[in-house]
Amino acid sequence: MLTGKGCGKKKLEDEHSGHGWYVSFADLMGLLVAFFVVLVSYSTQDVKKLQIVAGSMRDAFGVQREMRYSGIVETDGHMVEDKPRSKSTISSDAAASPQDAASSAKAKAEREFALASASLRQALQDVPELAEMSKNVVFEETPSGLNLELTDQDGRPMFPEGSAVPYERTRMLIARLAGPLRATALKLNIVGHTAATPVQAGDEFDAFDLSTSRANAVRQILKREGLSAGRVVTVAGKGDGEPLFPEAPTLAANRRVTISLLRENPPLPPDLQR
């Protein structure tokens, strides 16, 4: 038989053995909080990406279109200079400065460009049948826009040799890209390129003819898939003049058609500007 002292000791040991893990768990939580605090303190914010995310949220959930004013400060963030004004007394020019309008337009364009870029990349991942062909597509972001390089690979060309008629797998790939391209209002350039190898298609058909014909073949596929003809700014062929790999001009990957998604519309010639 246990004595009263023995029973009390056993009870105390049971309590410690049953709830001792609380202390370890609390220590773990404290360490994790400290870890994340350190991560946040060393992190830097990308203002452009934050603007893109904020714009996407506004597009998804909507924004308040009706402006209301109360007292000296307007609820949409614009300060009143001297006295309270009602909505009816505020002109559209006073509501936003030209700098704000330009900044907003630029942020909207960047947001649209980022969404289009993400949609194009996702389009190639959603179709298992195109998984192998997606290796023929190289994405390259440049200051002027996004280049989709539809390149030949060793053993997996996009077009038959010397021909401007694409393989069926190539047509399917371009048709898949047409959806995201239709969804954006951004302009396109389509440029064909060849490698530094002779073109076996007759004496009157050279590298420039072949590269131009292949670029136009891509344009025709996009058009049949619903892309507006007015969206395409340029269809051109560069022959072998701009290899993707200058140190190896005969490499198969130099044979390609580049679809360029432009960040901004090309400027008008001076004589056409108003």
DSSP line for 35-75? HHHHHHHH----HHHHHHHHHHHHHHH----S--EETTEET
CB 211 within 8 A of CB 238: yes
271 domain-assigned: no
Tens digit of pLDDT for each residue in 15-65? 555 566 667 888 888 888 888 877 777 666 666 666 666 666 666 565 554
Q: DSSP E strands: which ranges in the chain?
A: 69-70, 73-74, 137-142, 145-151, 188-193, 232-237, 256-262
For residue 51, the model assigns a pLDDT of: 65
Tens digit of pLDDT for each residue in 232-246? 999 999 999 999 889
2 vs 144, which has greater pLDDT? 144
Which has the closest alpha carbon to 193: 147, 257, 259, 140? Answer: 257
Residue 274 confidence (pLDDT) above 50: no
Tokens of 7: 């029973």
Q: What is the CATH number of the domain that holds 181?
A: 3.30.1330.60
For residue 77, the model assigns a pLDDT of: 45
- Beta strands 188-193 and 232-237, pairing class: parallel
Residue 231 confidence (pLDDT) above 50: yes
Q: How many CA atoms lie within 13 A of 166 on its CB side?
A: 27
**Residue 212 three-state SS:** helix
**Residue 145 three-state SS:** strand
How many domains does the chain fold into? 1
C-alpha to C-alpha distance for 49 and 44, rounded to whole angstroms: 12
Which has the closest alpha carbon to 117: 145, 144, 151? Answer: 145
C-alpha to C-alpha distance for 135 and 141, rounded to whole angstroms: 17
140 domain-assigned: yes
For residue 221, the model assigns a pLDDT of: 95
Q: Amino acid letter at 222?
A: L
C-alpha to C-alpha distance for 13 and 260, rounded to whole angstroms: 73
Q: How many CA atoms lie within 13 A of 82 on its CB side?
A: 0
Average confidence (pLDDT) over 133-139:
82
Average confidence (pLDDT) over 143-154:
87
43 domain-assigned: no
10 domain-assigned: no
Tokens of 26: 């609390």
C-alpha to C-alpha distance for 233 and 188, rounded to whole angstroms: 6
Residue with tokens 């391209």: 181
28 domain-assigned: no
79 domain-assigned: no
72 domain-assigned: no
Q: Percent of the chain having pLDDT more than 70?
A: 59
Phi, psi of 83 (to 5 degrees): -150, 160
Q: What is the dihedral of CA 258, 264, 268, 274, to 10 degrees?
A: 160
Give the domain extent around 145. 105-265
> Which residues, at least 6 apart from 68, have a Cβ–Cβ distance to it below 8 Å?
75, 76, 87
76 domain-assigned: no
Mean pLDDT, rounded, of the chain: 75
CB 116 within 8 A of CB 218: no
